[in-house]
């Protein structure tokens, strides 16, 4: 398959990354910071998810400093889901959330403003339809902002998120993907807010596997970023190798950033996606009407496939720039 080059004629897209680092979140952030022609990272908001908030806000700053970007504004957000106690994923990401490389504690400051207020203020102050939200973790911050300031919904350009699953079913329960499972009530608010939504579910992220040759290519960059990413995926892949027998770590969250840079690497359908919030058995399931068997109105572009070689070619080329 020939790889098209990313379009660079348009001005960079202004984004807020909402994240729970997490090794794959880290790679998504690095890819965004390595791509200033396509992406203008206005700020990064941390949420409780893979590990508690105290660690996700610290890890977000560690990653910015790894990229040499001490200037990026990082905000701490919600430390627990809307209606459930927090579920974390140290079994996948390690006790720090960034196990693998040895990275120094951050020196850059955490912003004083709460992440939810930062999201609201930014959407109100930037021109309508010019800011994209990129949630990479549970949707608690985004949903809380929408509840606190419903006027921001029509001002959102796009929501491009990692979460959910249909054909791949669950990775934290038999029915649900982690980000949606942790805060299904938040996901329901987001999926009903009316903003354009593009979803990167496990259906596509499980096709973005860091095989050994791909991880060797990261290591061969010979840079602190390339080495750190290789060490992150060396650690992060254990869970998926044991559970799925997969060929390497699935790079879930970088699919969001890669879509912003080169959307034609991905294919999907504009369909209805509803969130299960009532059933304990299927809490957090994304009920995706992929086959159009209901008359429920489409509310999301649900991505099902990726040109994996093109994805890794883009990722490796961009990481080499840091």
Residues lying near ligand RIB in the complex (CB under 6 A): 20, 22, 24-25, 49-50, 136-137, 162, 171, 177-179, 252-253
Site string (134-163) toward Ca ion, x via CB under 5 A = --xx--------------------------
DSSP state at residue 68: T
Closest to Ca ion by CB, 221 vs 249, is 249
Spatial separation of the C-alpha atoms in residues 305 and 141, rounded to whole Å: 28
Spatial separation of the C-alpha atoms in residues 203 and 305, rounded to whole Å: 7
Closest to ligand RIB by CB, 168 vs 274, is 168
Q: At its nearest, how many Å lie between ligand RIB and the CB of residue 171?
A: 5
Residue 144 interacts with which of Ca ion, ligand RIB, none, CB < 5 to 8 Å by class: none
Catalytic residues: 252
Spatial separation of the C-alpha atoms in residues 218 and 225, rounded to whole Å: 8
Spatial separation of the C-alpha atoms in residues 46 and 121, rounded to whole Å: 16
Spatial separation of the C-alpha atoms in residues 266 and 181, rounded to whole Å: 24
268 and 204 Cβ atoms separated by less than 8 Å: yes
Closest to ligand RIB by CB, 30 vs 155, is 30
Within 13 Å, how many C-alpha atoms sit on residue 96's CB side?
Answer: 16
Helix runs in the chain, H state only: 23-33, 53-66, 90-93, 115-125, 140-148, 178-182, 184-191, 202-205, 212-220, 224-244, 254-261, 308-319
Site string (21-60) toward Ca ion, x via CB under 5 A = -x--x-----------------------------------
Q: At its nearest, how many Å lie between ligand RIB and the CB of residue 112?
A: 25
189 and 147 Cβ atoms separated by less than 8 Å: yes
Closest to ligand RIB by CB, 249 vs 314, is 249
Q: At its nearest, how many Å lie between ligand RIB and the CB of residue 5?
A: 27
Residue 177 interacts with which of Ca ion, ligand RIB, none, CB < 5 to 8 Å by class: ligand RIB
Q: Are strands 249-250 and 74-76 parallel, antiparallel or unpaired?
A: unpaired
Residue 272 interacts with which of Ca ion, ligand RIB, none, CB < 5 to 8 Å by class: none
Closest to ligand RIB by CB, 155 vs 170, is 170
3-state secondary structure (DSSP) of residue 75: strand
Residue 178 interacts with which of Ca ion, ligand RIB, none, CB < 5 to 8 Å by class: ligand RIB
Region of 3-11, 132-140, 218-226, 285-293 interacting with Ca ion (CB under 5 A): 132-140
- C-alpha closest to that of 195 among 10, 12, 16, 8: 16
DSSP state at residue 41: E
Residue 45 interacts with which of ligand RIB, Ca ion, none, CB < 5 to 8 Å by class: none
Binding site for Ca ion (CB under 5 A): 20, 22, 25, 136-137, 253
């Amino acid at each position: 398959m020939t790889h098209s080059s990313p379009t660079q004629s348009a001005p960079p897209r202004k984004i807020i990354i909402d994240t729970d680092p997490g090794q794959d979140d880290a790679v998504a952030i690095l890819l965004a910071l390595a791509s200033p022609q396509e992406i203008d990272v206005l700020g990064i908001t941390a949420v409780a998810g893979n590990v508690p908030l105290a660690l996700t806000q610290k890890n977000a700053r560690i990653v910015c400093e790894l990229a040499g970007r001490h200037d990026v504004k990082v905000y701490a957000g919600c430390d627990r889901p809307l209606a459930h106690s927090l579920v974390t994923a140290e079994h996948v990401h390690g006790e720090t959330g960034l196990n693998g490389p040895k990275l120094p504690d951050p020196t850059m400051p955490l912003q004083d403003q709460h992440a939810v207020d930062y999201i609201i203020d930014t959407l109100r102050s930037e021109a309508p339809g010019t800011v994209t939200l990129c949630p990479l973790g549970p949707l608690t911050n985004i949903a809380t902002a929408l509840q606190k300031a419903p006027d921001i919904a029509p001002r959102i350009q796009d929501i491009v998120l990692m979460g959910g699953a249909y054909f791949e079913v669950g990775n934290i329960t038999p029915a649900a993907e982690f980000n949606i499972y942790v805060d299904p009530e938040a996901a329901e608010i987001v999926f009903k807010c009316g903003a354009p939504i593009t979803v990167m579910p496990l259906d596509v992220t499980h096709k973005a596997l860091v095989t050994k040759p791909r991880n060797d290519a990261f290591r061969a960059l010979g840079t602190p970023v390339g080495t750190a990413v290789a060490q992150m995926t060396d650690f992060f892949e254990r869970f998926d190798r044991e559970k799925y027998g997969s060929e390497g770590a699935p790079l879930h969250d970088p699919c969001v950033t890669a879509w912003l840079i080169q959307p034609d690497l991905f294919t999907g359908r504009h369909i209805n996606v509803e969130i299960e919030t009532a059933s304990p058995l299927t809490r957090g399931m994304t009920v995706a009407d992929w086959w159009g068997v209901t008359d429920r109105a489409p509310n999301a572009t649900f991505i099902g496939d990726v040109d994996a070689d093109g994805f890794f070619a883009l990722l490796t080329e961009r990481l080499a720039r840091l």
